[in-house]
Amino acid sequence: MSFADLHLHTRFSDGTYTPDELTAEARRLDLAALALTDHDTVEGCAPMAIACQAADIEFFSGTELTAELDGHELHFLGYFIDIHNQNLLSKIATFQVVRQNRVREMVARLNHLNIPLEASAVFALANCRSPGRPHVGRALVQAGFCANLDEAFDRFLKRHRPAWVPKFKMSAFEAIELIHRAGGLAVLAHPGLNRYDQAIPELAEAGLDGLECFHSKHSPENSQHYLRLAHECRLLVTGGSDCHGMSKGRPTIGSVRLPFHYVLSLKARAMELNPTPPAVAGPPQSP
């Protein structure tokens, strides 16, 4: 049987692997298909597609967007998106500026705590357009202010900690529409972490395509629960490790192995919506 991992991050957002390194790990683990879902960017999709082609691994372009519904933070995975879609690129560019400003505000709060971290150090470490809290945490560790990433989050960066800054969030319905307008399928990521199951039927009614039933932080009971809910709401089933590379000491790629029949269902739905999907060729152009 073949397996896939459809929730992966690289250095183009808050992962530590390059697309080549991530693909090499996937090949070592004998994965047959991958999707790249970096936060608020599609920059890694073109190099990942090239790496996967060379490794004989099927590749799907994607991204992960942060949204909100009734005060609850939700994450949406967009699969089979057109990485050259100008509307998507324009929105992503805005999200990236917000992310950069959020980093500056977190650093300013740390400075008020007499921790002389500089924003330039965070941006240099991140070396991407979509920096986030993990980069601030890694910079704190690199500068010797914290022993590890867990300490950085526990002391400073978690919600209600002194350097925590709220994320920008579009509405959940805007996120679904944005993904659809880019030709993609919209999937609710790790619902077991969101703990807002009552919203899933409403989201399905609004056009949600799928549910990430299998995730590295879902228990087997969680996965079975969301499989039942996906069936009830007529949603596609996806799964992935949510791998961020070595940021927390060990990579999670391969910890979730999505059976390939779920991938075939995703591809069939994508083909129904877009019989001639755009090729992932070349880097996306700035809007």
The tens digit of pLDDT for each residue in 46-66 reads 999 999 999 999 999 999 999
Residue 242 lies in a domain: yes
Q: What pLDDT is attached to residue 287?
A: 61
Domain match, 62 and 145 both: no
Mean pLDDT of 114-119: 96
Q: How many domains would you assign to the chain?
A: 2
- Domain assignment of residue 142, yes or no: yes
Task: Determine the 3-state secondary structure of 163 from DSSP.
Answer: coil
Query: Are residue 100 and residue 78 in the same domain, yes or no?
Result: no
Same domain membership, residue 115 and residue 38: no
| CA 26 to chain CA mean position, Å | 17
Query: Would you state the pLDDT for residue 209?
Result: 98
Sort 216 into a burial class: Cβ within 10 Å, 0-12 / 13-18 / 19+: middle
Strands in 105-218 per DSSP E: 170-171, 185-188, 210-215
Predicted pLDDT of residue 60: 96
Do 223 and 262 have their domain in common? yes
**For residue 137, what pLDDT is reported?**
95
One domain for residues 31 and 55: yes
pLDDT score recorded for residue 251: 82
* Residue 274 pLDDT > 70: yes
Helix (H) or strand (E) run with residue 60 in it: strand 58-60
Query: What Rg, from alpha-carbon coordinates, does the chain have?
Result: 18
Same-domain check for residues 197 and 97: no
97 and 84 part of one domain:
no
219-241: pLDDT as tens digits? 999 999 999 999 999 999 999 99
- Answer yes or no: are the C-beta atoms of 107 and 137 closer than 8 Å: no
Query: Which residue type, as a one-letter code, is found at position 14?
Result: D
pLDDT digits (tens, 9 = 90+) for 247-270: 666 789 989 999 999 999 999 999
Residue 45 sits in the same domain as residue 144? no
**132 and 45 within one domain:** no
The verdict on residue 282 lying in a domain is: no
Based on the domain organization, do 72 and 186 belong to the same domain?
yes
**Can you read off the two tokens belonging to residue 20?**
């080549």
Which residues, 6+ apart, have CB-to-CB distance to 177 below 8 Å?
Answer: 207
Last residue of a domain, one of 125, 157, 189: 157
Is residue 86 pLDDT above 60, yes or no? yes
Residues 23 and 63 in one domain: yes
User: What spatial distance separates the first Cα and last Cα of the chain, rounded to whole Å?
Assistant: 41
Position of tokens 């790790």?
Answer: 190
Which of 157, 183, 210 is the C-terminal boundary of a domain? 157
pLDDT score recorded for residue 248: 65
Check which CATH number belongs to the domain holding 73 and give it: 3.20.20.140
**Domain boundary residue among 157, 178, 200?**
157
Q: 0.85 cut: is pTM over it?
A: yes
Burial of 232 (0-12, 13-18, 19+ CB in 10 A): exposed
Decide the pairing of beta strands 72-79 and 185-188: antiparallel
Shared domain check, 133 and 24: no
Q: Domain span at residue 199?
A: 3-90+168-273
pLDDT band at residue 88 using 50, 70 and 90 as cut-offs: very high
